[in-house]
Amino acid sequence: MDHWSLRYPTCTEDIGRVLAEAAEKLLALSVDARKAVSGGTRILHFSAEERMTKFEICETLAGILGLELGQMRANEQGNDPAASVQRPYDCHLSTAELQELGVDVRAQKFEPWFRRYLRAVRR
30-53: b or e for each residue (b if 16 or more CB lie within 10 Å)?
eeeeeeebeeeeeebebbbeeebb
Q: pLDDT of the chain along its 123 residues, tens only?
A: 999 999 999 999 999 999 999 999 888 887 777 666 655 557 889 999 999 999 999 999 999 988 999 899 999 998 888 888 888 999 999 999 899 899 999 999 999 999 998 875 555
Q: What is the spatial distance between Cα 114 and Cα 82, in angstroms, rounded to a whole number? A: 36
Q: Is pTM beyond 0.85 here?
A: no
